[in-house]
Amino acid sequence: MTPYDALVAPFVEFDFMRRALVGSLALSVGSAPIGVFLMLRRMSLAGDAMAHAILPGAAVGFLVAGLSLPAMTIGGLAAGVAVAVLAGLLTRTSVLKEDAALAAFYLLSLALGVTLVSLKGSNVDLLNVLFGSVLALDDDALFLLAGVSSLTLLTLAALYRSLVLECVDPGFLASVSRSGGPTHFVFLGLVVLNLVAGFQALGTLLSVGIMMLPAASAAFWSARLSGMFVAAIAVGALASLFGLLGSYHTGVPSGPAIVLAAGALYLVSIAFGASAGLVWRLLPARRHRAA
């Protein structure tokens, strides 16, 4: 097999592969920076909780209209926003921390969503909802992914200073501005929006993978926030490319293949990352001992 056959031909010959690649790249551009902020805010697991929170709403959309993109998107967005708001209010009005509140809602949401889908759908429908079908993206899904990514980047640019201050010193932000609370809720809204978009391609169980694994990898490539954004998007794009190619050549489901590729790049980043990779951190010590 020539390099052309292995790397290029699948995207030249098959329209569904091109659509899957475009959709995955759009998802990476929007989700990866969100993942970086989640990681800096020590909310990495909150992304996973929110991914499951959208399931009941998507399930209601499925019950009403079947595997309909608009219905499941609206339902998932409504459920995700509701859980984010409820968790935020519960955190601010009780002794419960935000991670605990999200964990409780996440468990309830996952069980309720699976139950609702099972009431009407088959096992195949349930698998599509949980794991997505990136190879079946149509024009509407691509427009949704592109629109969400564009809106995410514009919103992050507008709120950049407040988001960075909230990550570094939320107490200082609260003392000089009242924007901390609204910024937090807008950010949670972006998390939900990107997870709903990722749900179309990777399902509720895997959409958080393309958000958090590239972000975690980026921490090993740059110590600067701007560099982490670039690295996270690059890792997400490479994971999309290699995952789709691996799925095409091996027959592995494409959604899990993309997340596995992101996981493999994460392991590579841990070892060889230019900023904090283990190899580069060990080399100076070895030279010192040799001297």
- The pLDDT of residue 173 is 67
Mean pLDDT of all residues belonging to the chain: 83
219, two tokens: 């921490």
The one-letter amino acid at 190? L
> pTM of the full predicted structure?
0.84
Mean pLDDT of 38-62: 78
How many of the other CB atoms lie within 10 Å of CB of 48? 20
Task: Give CA separation, 275 vs 168, 175, 226, 270, in Å.
Answer: 20, 33, 13, 10
- The pLDDT of residue 93 is 75
Residue 150 has pLDDT above 50, yes or no: yes
Contact status, residue 71 vs residue 61, Cβ threshold 8 Å: yes
Mean pLDDT of 29-41: 91
- Domain covering 3-290 in this structure, CATH number: 1.10.3470.10
Which percentage of the chain shows pLDDT scores above 90? 33
- The pLDDT of residue 191 is 87
- Degrees, nearest 5: CA angle 204-141-185: 55
Residue 216 has pLDDT above 90, yes or no: yes
Residue 121 has pLDDT above 70, yes or no: no
Name residues whose C-beta falls within 8 Å of residue 192's C-beta, 6 or more positions apart in sequence: 50, 53, 54, 77, 80, 81, 84
Give the confidence band of 180 by pLDDT, cuts at 50, 70, 90.
Answer: low
104 vs 28 pLDDT, higher one: 28
C-alpha to C-alpha distance for 210 and 241, rounded to whole angstroms:
12
Domain map (residue ranges) of the chain = 3-290
